[in-house]
Structure 1
């Protein structure tokens, strides 16, 4: 981190600490703002607790020995947040971004662990759940924020409480339960770049025991830039999302919920900004980072659909049985991504993805007073497939890669919390997971520039195999908690995370036959200690955690020897250690002013990164002993960990916000939020690339929302990225002539503003 960035971060945290030194602090329901309950509490300079379901039971967030951040619907609404990527600004050690080239594919990292490549062969490192249903693929996973209750971000491995094991952490998207009374919400948003968004949500009881509801969100916006070659909008938005829900409670002990959802994204393809001079003329890059010269086309298409049925039966005062059945599918297609950013097809990649999943989860939740917890069984049958065509115009041929991965996963899990004394408790959990995977990969070269026809014959088949692998692991979790007083909880926890192995869909078996064997699972052992507290008569809420993780078998791209050179493929070549700390809180300074803050620090370093290095050891690299092959005349395997970094993981992240609440008596109330978020420098890949890596930056947001006295009307003005910072969130690096010397970056949203008008009853 630069000296300037350090000074800015120190200043930001100094302001937060100065807030804590003032008398009369209070804490709101998280670090993103103040909810409606928080506003009521603000009038009394006290804060009400927040109830979460992180451990599958309703309990105070303070009692949960897991580092977590909770954002309520009210908090996100007051901020003008459009989708779940807004949580990156306010949550420490979290990356939630739109993946390169898309508008709705999610890139997620928590505490340095995640998955950037959305290809169908790779497992995500961060689990995304919608109403306890695991979302297996990142396509279409940039979820719009509408008709929700809250979003919970759980940091660290999760597996003894959830259907699908996740190695880095979990994002829980919890939708709103239907009201007992009729409800209708109409919301319109009008903003810069001709933005128009409309949201309609409503529900009504049909009978005493049966309720139905529906919600629809339409988002439309012109592009932040232009495709100058095709004269089309670039980086625009055109999406539609909907959800239909029915709830049936035939008795006080029985509950059923049926939900169907659908998402459609017809936004134009985002082809990024070329950072290198135009090839081969040498003309400079375009002035606007949101413009492109791409000639591949502009149409994009994403579809996702899902249906789930949740049944819950309170069998007795001590036992509740729950079933979650779900099916989801999706497909992504369009004209493809232009990797060179030029009119000519030097390096264009059209492609498509398809996926489907069925899951069944059974839970037995028990509460015997001093002992409570959950036992569960999980089954998932999923399929992910796709194809992409690397059109290499300068070489005169097209390389097609296609394949699919079918996964059958079975798991048993359990977690119990034991109250040993009135203040001391322990939690123990265990999970067994087995994944069976069938992978098929085909890669071939076809003459000509363009997508091969159905009857085309390749002139070279590089990969053509089907293989099956099974992976199983037992992962424990242990924690202890001690309540110094009722509102100050100390805890320490250990958890093991597991990420399944798989097959490298890009692997070239003609030169690296080992790719057909697939790669093995990743394992992380995570240790954490922290506290959660309400202080000063519930006028300050402060949470802190420190963590250490040992990361083994990392699935990384490495080099292997082929002839007189080296080529890349995915293997378990990495080991690392991750240390860090987090601080979150909110302070009620007066009846009308509160401050929200968060800080995250992470030191993530590779201890081992085995890769073949041509010329070693003569060039100074030291050959390693446990190499896949012995040294040869052209080089040897060496540990290059000193030359590798963690991707999408800033060393520092921070947030500070002020919330002003003004009671206008019979004229309603006014809420004003002024926020600044900070991220230190970020590497987009595990190898530093100066042309792509992002320096530290700050984003400033401002919003003002008026709510009528009867809370039927709400009008807001929201500004995001007020100083119009340009910051990179993704990229591609192919700086060689036969790829058109392509170095392309994808940038976050520029300065935007919008007015929101909402009516509800």
Structure 2
């Protein structure tokens, strides 16, 4: 139906369109930096310009929920990566135990909370200058020479290359200019914090301009490792981006861009938080196991920020690529082509037992990815009709080589103490799993969106998407150990050594497995938005979307049957089916000195792709499965007011109710895990039998708070300092959130209490581009956790990631 309507409207446009500003404005390449952020209180005179709908327009004219954060607001608040950005946008959630295991969600949905599985799509798309970043690890890098960031909430598949069901983060960098300009910034602070940024832009000829940007960040770790004498969980980022803009005439803009970023910190570990009783036998829970080995954790208070992990730690991370963007004014519209290649190299090392005992002496999954994307778009604006049509091709190759090695303390920790084998360190010492994990991913889509201005008030905006996805993978885990006769053997479920007692014990810790999952499918999705201009500065809109998230394959392993064969039916997960409803109101009043944008939403998902965490050793840490139904609903607002150039204030907030509506066979939380699966079932936290699975219907999705807020204000006064006219200013920004679950199945042990963070800055700036200020973040030194996690094995060990303590420093910035 929508294709017939679109065809009729396109025909009428071809007959009646008149010259109007282009949907994609080539002049935007050199437009001066737009005013800052809707809902951040940093708005200067003029409208905030965005390209969320692939055309240049003001944010108040866009009928969707969108937060815009300008480059200068990012710099002023120290929000130099997505982790910091979430403190300015309450509906954005960011969690990272290391760059690979990073999740970015919007309104509580996007990707499952926990260990990363390469075989599924990200529900929140990250785009930098129109290029899709498939690896969410890119979110841990510093923003580099950013003009603005648009956070779009809700499905975006009819406008963007890769289908995104939860939203998109659209990052626009500063572009090359034909006028010479530059900027530089240096910051220093406690914990050895050092950050430097620089960018320069200008003409190379009358038709060629260039821009070069650099960024470097380093900081001492926040956790002291008494085993090595080093501070760990440090920051060590370096990034560079170069761009060439060729403009042979006013109709053509060709931009060649290359970037490279690297991280090499001693990172990342989670540290002891506490223990919780499970249904494992008491002599197999953490307290008894630690006593048996004479082990004492260096501190039972996580905010002492000490650990004693004895395995290597590393988070070596490289990401980069090259892209070519061509924009061609072809008369009534603009044709855009974006061709891109990107790579990602990950070289980690972890201590997966989280203790100072040599239980797991090596745990690492180095990974390499290449991705290629090609997008074509044609956008046109007419008197009554605007439209965008496009195609998108995505190819991805991921290769991962995993290694896990058990040490001399593993036998006593992992084998049942009632077995004489537990007293023999040689049984598990040197037990090794070597994993070969592969993914080949191809996706192709046709998409389009049309805006029909029915009259001066009403606009109808349908959109469609046709998508094909194909994924093929390999998971091959080869396990070797020492047999009771002292020889090295493959650990198998059949063969001469399969009944050897040492091999049987080893198989219960690291299980061999090989399978080759596949998935392919076509999908069709659509959305319809109706908007009404109720007054000059008041826009109301309502959206209905029927969309999907592509199916996936499991690449972290699947459960085995009793004979040791992988359950192949768990190798693939079904697509998510998404129904989305949204209504909103955007308004400016008090002579446009105040802005209030509100939205209410509901998203229903069938076959939600959930992370299943199996606590048993010898099975796996986590795999994917489909939960029957999930729902997220709520409302959100962005409010900012600027009565004069001397004062501004903003308050943004959201209430999000994100729950499993039906998930009857979910994994059980640790307090209901670890025992046998016979009846009767023991009460939570009591040694005995555990249920095979748990019904968590109605319980909260992990990682999302019911209430979340960001707020801030700045006041300034004119002064003359250092012989320069300018203003002295005092700024504040803060954020608060209520408690949230930090386990896929909510557990009494992993709820993170709500907290508030407050940040201040005091400085002097001039109109000529000099800015000098001091800053303090987490000014009241609030103790809070970013994440809590349940260590494998059902021992009851709970580990966590404390958030940053109070940090302070100063920044000098110049622009010319």
Equivalent residue, structure 1, for 2:477: 443
TM-score, scaled to structure 1: 0.87
Separation in 1, partners of 2:101, 2:771 = 31
- The one of 775, 782, 786 aligned to 1:725: 782
Shift in Å, 1:448? 6.1
Residue by residue over 1:372-394, the C-alpha shift from the partner in whole angstroms, topping out at 9 and shown as x without a partner, is: 02000000110122133343441
Secondary structure at the residue paired with 1:86? helix
Shift in Å, 1:459? 4.2
Shift in Å, 1:462? 3.1
Question: Is the Cα–Cα contact under 8 Å of residues 242 and 261 in structure 1 kept in the other structure?
Answer: yes
Separation in 2, partners of 1:272, 1:568 = 18
Secondary structure at the residue paired with 1:611? coil
Shift in Å, 1:539? 1.3
Go from structure 1 to structure 2 and tell me whether the alpha carbon gap of 1:589 and 1:304 turns closer, same or farther (over 3 Å shift): same
* Pair 1:653-2:683 in alignment: no
Shift in Å, 1:347? 7.0
Go from structure 1 to structure 2 and tell me whether the alpha carbon gap of 1:638 and 1:546 turns closer, same or farther (over 3 Å shift): same
Question: Is the Cα–Cα contact under 8 Å of residues 81 and 143 in structure 2 kept in the other structure?
Answer: yes
Task: Map 1:63-462 to 2 at 5 A.
Answer: 63-97=61-95, 99-102=96-99, 106-115=102-111, 116=113, 117-276=115-274, 279-280=290-291, 281=294, 283-284=296-297, 286=299, 287=301, 289=303, 290-316=305-331, 318-346=332-360, 348-393=362-407, 394-395=410-411, 396=428, 397-447=431-481, 457-459=490-492, 462=512
Separation in 2, partners of 1:354, 1:342 = 30
- The one of 743, 747, 750 aligned to 2:805: 750
Go from structure 1 to structure 2 and tell me whether the alpha carbon gap of 1:251 and 1:360 turns closer, same or farther (over 3 Å shift): same
- The one of 512, 515, 519 aligned to 1:465: 515
Aligned residues: 700
Shift in Å, 1:173? 1.0
Higher strand share: 1
Go from structure 1 to structure 2 and tell me whether the alpha carbon gap of 1:617 and 1:125 turns closer, same or farther (over 3 Å shift): farther
Residue by residue over 1:191-224, the C-alpha shift from the partner in whole angstroms, topping out at 9 and shown as x without a partner, is: 0111111112111201111101111111111111
Separation in 2, partners of 1:561, 1:749 = 29
Shift in Å, 1:619? 5.6
Secondary structure at the residue paired with 2:237? strand
Alignment gaps of 5+ in structure 2: 1-34, 276-286, 412-427, 494-510, 669-675, 684-688
Task: Map 1:3-82 to 2 at 5 A.
Answer: 29-35=37-43, 38=44, 41=45, 48-82=46-80
Separation in 2, partners of 1:196, 1:486 = 47
Equivalent residue, structure 2, for 1:452: none
Question: Is the Cα–Cα contact under 8 Å of residues 149 and 169 in structure 2 kept in the other structure?
Answer: yes
Question: Is the Cα–Cα contact under 8 Å of residues 263 and 303 in structure 1 kept in the other structure?
Answer: yes
Equivalent residue, structure 1, for 2:673: none
Question: Is the Cα–Cα contact under 8 Å of residues 384 and 452 in structure 2 kept in the other structure?
Answer: yes
Question: Is the Cα–Cα contact under 8 Å of residues 346 and 392 in structure 1 kept in the other structure?
Answer: yes
CA RMSD of aligned residues (A): 2.8
Equivalent residue, structure 2, for 1:606: 660
Q: Which moved more, 1:477-486 or 1:669-678?
A: 669-678
TM-score, scaled to structure 2: 0.81
* Pair 1:546-2:605 in alignment: no
* Pair 1:641-2:638 in alignment: no
Question: Is the Cα–Cα contact under 8 Å of residues 29 and 49 in structure 1 kept in the other structure?
Answer: no
Question: Is the Cα–Cα contact under 8 Å of residues 298 and 308 in structure 2 kept in the other structure?
Answer: no
* Pair 1:664-2:660 in alignment: no
Q: Which moved more, 1:364-373 or 1:669-678?
A: 669-678
